[in-house]
Amino acid sequence: MIPPSAGLGTTKRYYQRRTMFQYAGLYVLGLWCFQNLQSTALRATALGLLFPGAGLVAVATIPSLLAFVMTIVGIPITLFVWFAMGGVVFPLLLWFGSAGLAGLLAKDKLFDSAGPAWGVFCVGAVTWMIWKSSTINARGHSLQQTRNKWLPSKVKSMQDQATPAPAPGSRELDEKTLRFVQHMVERGLTKHDDLSYHDVIDQFQTGAVRYQLYGVVDSLALYLTYYAPGFHGYAAEACRNCIEKSLTKRVMSYWKWERLTGKFTTDYDPTNYDNIMVTGYLGVAIGLYESATGDRRYEEKDSLDFHIADGIHFSKSFGDLADAMYANMATNDYCLYPCEPNWTYSLCNLIGMAGLIISSRMLGNDYAEKIKPRFERALEDEMTEPDGRILPIRSELTGLTIPGLSGTLSDCINAMNLTSYLPHIGSRVWAIIRNEHVTYEDGKMDVKDLRGADKMDPGNYKGGIGALRAFVAGCAAEFGDEQVRVDALEQLDTEYFPVTATSSGALYNKGLSATSQVVALMARLMRYQDLANATLYGPEPNAMTGPLLAECKFPDVLVAKAYSHHGKNLELVLYNGKASGKQTLVFERLNPGAKYTIGNQRVTADKAGKAAVEVDLNGRTEVNVSPA
């Protein structure tokens, strides 16, 4: 059910009222000064407080009017930069800079009618915005009542009809999906200065390379958790490489500019203040990696070296990330806290909560449980619309949001990331998507009533509705809707982004962004509640104690399954990534000196519990490891 308090948060209302009072102060001061001061320069400057460029109109000369046109053109540009990187300095410079310029350009006389005209215009604009907001809220409350009538039954039917996830140890990747995994491993193994597998557009918004790197870790960790917990090798190496690559200057230097232009400070610490788009995403990536492999190296002091600029490094650990997330949430008025300075994104905070959940499991803290009541209330009241949809963004400074950014795509990724922490909200969001947007006509799936942000790939900003299919498929996978998962992936692969093979045999969707490729791979790998269970529990304990396939050559050996049912054996299903033939497999976690049967060979583990064998690979090949 959508709670009656949805969208009625007191914190956002406080900041919205504060913004109105601040503007009212500028309005009264500017208009009074324009009407009462003698100096034309001061009068023109004062009128500029009402609206960017208003004073330039009062000057009424050709240079001032040209400057006014340039100011108007600059408004959407500076607002976009503020949104994109948190650089509040840019709209402030435009506004107050244009006011100062009006004073410099002022002559002996001004266009006196400009004052009353701008006064009426600004009052009218504010009145219209208040009316528009109240109209949208009223419509949302009406829709809330309508949706609450069918939501309980819809959620129950979805849960009843969800396809259960396969039993632990029964999963095996087919060769096609394995080739998609191969492509993600290839991306993960590239050197730190090699971004050839990435979309390099900007480092501020959703196309940033850091999200593409975190996504490699997340998807490969899910692969290891459910299909190959008995394998580390190149998959674990790819995860570590991406974690450490995400800390490099080329990826992290954006934070220097965001702190300078958004907070006017040279304190570039990437975790202590804001920046949940790093602490949250990196926390989840490290947590899922640790959980899937048992590798705790990033818990060590100073194990994460953030390189912000030449000579500027910050050394952190996984525990430091968790401490920072909890401290920010516990002290921020909204509980949810900003990514870019001054801009709070719901998705980043939902992912941050997943990071806190994993940190509680891996590090033994109680952060997730302690913050949960406040976080849930803030999410529902401050970051949810009255109609039950989660807002993607809110300005921490003003309490305002940006219209048109919410939609089915953002709803899908939000719902996926709610299942481990607030599953009732996640189910509500997916039920709305499934009931109102994902439809079938003559057996063909369609996604209707799309908003602006739905018609763009968030990873490369290219227009089109194809990328949305990856997100619908991922969400459907998490909620056990196999029909939608399969159909959305089929459309993605055949109608929008054709599956293409590289020279190594790896598969990817041509034209789909690197970020959306991650979501598509997760949709191929996941089944009902997989993301929630990986976050809350990780692999089955018995699967983490048996023999381990520690090394094999990539991409010559592709691992479709590596699972130990009782901590003594290991079931392997392998494919040759290149030509068929002999390949060396290195095993660890064997009992020192014990004899094992590996395939049709008998070996003795050395004192370190290791052994190596050669096996013939020709297509799908089963190799079983068991005590002799």
Q: Report the CATH number that the domain containing residue 357 is assigned in CATH.
A: 1.50.10.10
pLDDT, tens digit, 9 for 90 and up, residues 451-489: 878 999 999 999 999 999 999 999 999 999 999 999 999
Shared domain for 420 and 531, answered yes or no, is: yes
Q: How many domains does the chain have?
A: 3
H or E element: which one contains 562? strand 557-563
Contacts of 366-370 with CB under 8 Å at 24 or more apart are: 367/322, 367/325, 367/326, 368/421, 370/326
Q: Which of 501, 536, 571 is the last residue of a domain?
A: 536
Shared domain for 529 and 552, answered yes or no, is: no
What CA–CA distance (Å, rounded) separates 275 from 339?
Answer: 4
Establish if 599 belongs to a structural domain: yes
Shared domain for 348 and 485, answered yes or no, is: yes
The whole-model pTM stands at 0.94
Establish if 324 belongs to a structural domain: yes
Shared domain for 193 and 230, answered yes or no, is: yes
Q: Which two tokens stand for residue 522?
A: 């997760």
Shared domain for 271 and 300, answered yes or no, is: yes
What CA–CA distance (Å, rounded) separates 581 from 579?
Answer: 6
CB 588 within 8 A of CB 550: yes
Establish if 585 belongs to a structural domain: yes
- Give the three-state DSSP class for 447: strand
Size of the chain in residues: 628
Shared domain for 104 and 70, answered yes or no, is: yes
Establish if 3 belongs to a structural domain: no
Domain span at residue 231 reads 133-536
Shared domain for 532 and 549, answered yes or no, is: no
* Integer angstrom CA distances of residue 458 from 172, 199, 206, 211, 467: 31, 11, 6, 11, 8
Establish if 572 belongs to a structural domain: yes
Shared domain for 158 and 301, answered yes or no, is: yes
Q: Which two tokens stand for residue 432?
A: 């709305």
Shared domain for 149 and 94, answered yes or no, is: no
Q: What pLDDT, on the 0 to 100 scale, is given for residue 402? A: 85
- Nearest-CA neighbor of 285 among 373, 208, 221, 368? 221
Shared domain for 201 and 350, answered yes or no, is: yes
Which residue numbers in the chain have pLDDT < 70?
404
Shared domain for 230 and 376, answered yes or no, is: yes
Establish if 55 belongs to a structural domain: yes
Q: Which two tokens stand for residue 476?
A: 């459907």
Beta bridge partners of 309: 312
H or E element: which one contains 403? none
Establish if 598 belongs to a structural domain: yes
**Domain of 590: which CATH number?**
2.60.40
pLDDT, tens digit, 9 for 90 and up, residues 313-363: 999 999 999 999 999 999 999 999 999 999 999 999 999 999 999 999 999
What CA–CA distance (Å, rounded) separates 260 from 179?
Answer: 43
Name the percent of the chain in helix, strand, coil, to the closest 5. 55, 15, 35
Q: Which two tokens stand for residue 238?
A: 């790819």
Shared domain for 103 and 159, answered yes or no, is: no
Establish if 531 belongs to a structural domain: yes
Q: Which of 111, 132, 153 is the last residue of a domain?
A: 132
Q: Which of 132, 156, 175 is the last residue of a domain?
A: 132
